[in-house]
Amino acid sequence: MSVVVLVEHTEGNIKKKSLEAIQYAAGIAQKTGTTVSAVVLGTLADNVMQDLGQYGAQKVLHVPDARLNQLHARAYTNALITAAQKEDSKIIIALHDINGRAVAPRLSAKLKAGLVAGALSYPDLTNGFAIKKQVFSGKAFAYVNITSDVKVITLMLNTFPLSKTEGSASIQKLDVNFSDKDFGIRVKETNKITGDIQLADAQLVVSGGRGMKGPENWGLIEGLAKELGAATACSRPVADAHWRPHHEHVGQTGGTVRPDLYIAVGISGAIQHLAGVSGSKTIVVINKDPEAPFFKAANYGVVGDALEILPRLTQAVEKF
């Protein structure tokens, strides 16, 4: 019996957030007296997969079908069910990101499994199988008890610090019976995400809202981000207005970030925005309105015009 984890990779490397999912699975496996089987879909080098042992995976089940290098929710679901059946697994874990959110509900429906979406804790086994998660757009926490035999969990990103140990995972090829329907979606075009730092993995984020006035001022956000080695993000209206690409929008309907530092510039702090950023360890808000709601969630605040403050802040960081 083992805990099955969906592993994501890009350009030949495992995504950092997937290492966290493996480590989380290893914690659950330890509690439940099982092992961890990481499921890798698509093409990836053996040595990269073996290294998953350093984060707690004993085994890698590899489906080396190049079509799986991009998300096909039906095919991913099919592969995870095959893996879970092979491993007699009662617990399946994915990340609470675009892929996990596409696959987990399908798994849950097909396996009649309870689902906790956006787990923030290990299951409390003294209390059934209770897992902490956010509710009401992050206004409150709930402990959700999964009572079904099979359990599906999506893990909120950046919830646990990563720690590496010695270890090497064994690799087994997994045969999955795919049908044409599993690959019903055709990707016509893929665009490389802008910036060097992946937003979901970033430890530092500089984010802009409508207070930035227009896309012509985004150089100020990018300048500060570059000096800090941070990723850039934005509020939803900014993406809706095409000032920034949609993958940068964070919040209830966008991505979730939990960096060490989140700098919010010209963002009001609506509850839907906070839902995606409130897990940040330190929040700095720059806003010209001292009554902006974001200040209530901030550790540090600067009241003033972002267009004046940002160049000075960037200069100050440069001097460091």
Q: Which residues bind ligand FAD (CB under 6 A)?
A: 209-211, 235-238, 249, 251-254, 266-268, 270, 272-273, 276, 286-289, 292, 305-307
The angle subtended at Cα 27 by Cα 24 and Cα 31, nearest 5°, is 140
Q: Is 166 exposed, middle or buried (0-12, 13-18, 19+ CB in 10 A)?
A: exposed
How near is the Cβ of 88 to ligand FAD at its closest, in Å?
Answer: 39
How near is the Cβ of 137 to ligand FAD at its closest, in Å?
Answer: 8
How near is the Cβ of 231 to ligand FAD at its closest, in Å?
Answer: 16
Considering the complex, state which of residue 73 and residue 310 has its C-beta at the smaller distance from ligand FAD: 310
Question: How far is it, in rounded angstroms, from Cα 237 to Cα 8?
Answer: 29
Considering the complex, state which of residue 48 and residue 307 has its C-beta at the smaller distance from ligand FAD: 307
**Token pair 């206004």 is at which residue?**
139
Query: Quick one: which of 79, 107, 74 has its CA closest to 180?
Result: 74
Considering the complex, state which of residue 32 and residue 137 has its C-beta at the smaller distance from ligand FAD: 137
How near is the Cβ of 291 to ligand FAD at its closest, in Å?
Answer: 8
Considering the complex, state which of residue 58 and residue 158 has its C-beta at the smaller distance from ligand FAD: 158
Considering the complex, state which of residue 127 and residue 253 has its C-beta at the smaller distance from ligand FAD: 253
How near is the Cβ of 271 to ligand FAD at its closest, in Å?
Answer: 7
The angle subtended at Cα 222 by Cα 220 and Cα 228, nearest 5°, is 105
Residue nearest to ligand FAD (CB): 251
Let me know: does 205 contact 232? Beta carbons within 8 Å. yes
